[in-house]
């Protein structure tokens, strides 16, 4: 009773802060801070740096970070083999990675969710056909499929987005279809059928809102995967072509200078690591927050 009285008398901000710290969710501040910095830098790239991400300056090639000898605060993270400011290219590379991730998830997630809803609700041969296509798509190596796709259509941002989306949809279709299979047997769906609702209305009005939480969690968890795929394609030369800066191509440009200019590959790789890890931690927390059973635990 005394503890309850103290909790009631405690100021609301302090009570909320105490619960936040005691719930071990304070560690989320780190990934949220990293993601906020990444997104803000990507949006305001033109205003954060005086340099062009593509302009070559051979006089400044392979300058080290500012804390090493020959380093300067004009190029705090150093320069690449073409003399381009590394921090500037990383900021613009963040924009490319986030744009590719957003578009690929929008296209792939939208197609996969729609097919999962339709296959799960109607069942039968349509369900079997969609799932077999999804199984075939998931069995095919993503990097090989994307490389073949890019080689045929040519490297560009749109081609990269389509290549990733054409593989990504299967993941969403399988998960959403499983959710719909359990939901379509519920009483509220039976009542909607008795009330004369059409199949389209049942899918859009009754089923879709109930799988929305699952879809949001899937989207958040897949952002890091898409960023890694895009970086891998750029590293292999099958992604967005130069001189557009991407983290994968920046790592590839520095692989011949690892012994003498480690920073060229290290900092883009660190950016990929921090961004992917932050999105994964945020996705895990979002999954727990939106799941009533896990939230109670």
Two tokens at 143?
Answer: 């990097």
Least trusted range by pLDDT, from 9-18, 119-128, 147-156: 9-18
Two tokens at 76?
Answer: 């705090």
- Across 130-142, average pLDDT: 87
User: Which pLDDT does position 8 carry in this prediction?
Assistant: 42
3-class DSSP string for 194-227: HCCCCHHHHHHHHHHHHHHHHHHHHHHHHHHHHH
**Is the pLDDT score of 7 beyond 50?**
no
- Across 96-117, average pLDDT: 92
Residues 6+ apart with CB under 8 A from 78: 62, 63, 64, 65, 71, 86, 261, 263, 264, 267
User: Structure pTM?
Assistant: 0.83
240: left (phi over 0), alpha (psi -120 to 50) or beta: beta
**Positive or negative torsion for Cα 239, 242, 245, 250:** positive
pLDDT in tens, 14-65: 554 455 455 556 667 888 888 999 999 999 988 888 888 988 888 888 899 9
Helix axes 263-290, 29-43, angle to 10 degrees: 120
Identify whether the C-beta of residue 171 lies closer than 8 Å to the C-beta of residue 116. no
Residue 273: phi and psi, rounded to 5, are: -60, -50
pLDDT in tens, 220-258: 888 989 999 889 888 888 888 888 899 999 999 888 888
- Domain 31-45+76-296 of CATH type 1.10.3720.10: yes
Query: How far apart, in whole angstroms, are the C-alpha atoms of residue 297 and residue 295?
Result: 5
Query: How far apart, in whole angstroms, are the C-alpha atoms of residue 206 and residue 211?
Result: 10
Identify whether the C-beta of residue 146 lies closer than 8 Å to the C-beta of residue 229. yes
Closest CA to 217 of 105, 119, 127: 105
């Amino acid at each position: 009773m005394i503890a309850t009285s103290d909790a009631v008398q405690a100021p609301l901000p302090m009570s909320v802060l105490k619960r936040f710290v005691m719930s071990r969710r304070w560690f989320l501040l780190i990934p949220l801070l990293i993601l906020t910095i990444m997104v803000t830098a990507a949006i305001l790239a033109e205003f954060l740096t005086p340099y062009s991400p593509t302009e070559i300056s051979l006089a400044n090639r392979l300058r080290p970070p500012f804390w090493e000898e020959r380093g300067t605060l004009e190029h705090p993270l150093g320069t690449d083999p073409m003399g381009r400011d590394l921090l500037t290219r990383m900021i613009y590379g963040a924009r490319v990675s986030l744009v590719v991730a957003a578009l690929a998830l929008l296209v792939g997630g939208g197609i996969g969710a729609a097919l999962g809803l339709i296959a799960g609700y109607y069942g039968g041969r349509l369900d079997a056909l969609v799932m077999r296509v999804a199984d075939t798509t998931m069995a095919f190596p993503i990097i090989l499929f994307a490389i073949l796709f890019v080689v045929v259509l040519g490297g560009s941002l749109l081609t990269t987005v389509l290549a990733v989306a054409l593989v990504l949809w299967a993941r969403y279709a399988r998960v959403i279809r499983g959710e719909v299979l359990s939901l379509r047997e519920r009483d509220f769906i039976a009542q909607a059928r008795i009330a004369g609702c059409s199949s389209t209305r049942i899918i859009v009005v009754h089923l879709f809102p109930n799988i929305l939480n699952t879809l949001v969690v899937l989207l958040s968890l897949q952002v890091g995967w898409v960023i890694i795929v895009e970086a891998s394609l750029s590293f292999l030369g099958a992604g967005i072509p130069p001189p557009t800066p991407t983290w994968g191509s920046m790592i590839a440009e520095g692989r011949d200078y690892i012994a003498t200019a480690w920073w060229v590959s290290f900092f883009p790789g660190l950016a990929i690591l921090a961004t992917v890890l932050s999105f994964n931690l945020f996705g895990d927390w979002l999954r727990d927050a939106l799941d009533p059973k896990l939230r109670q635990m």
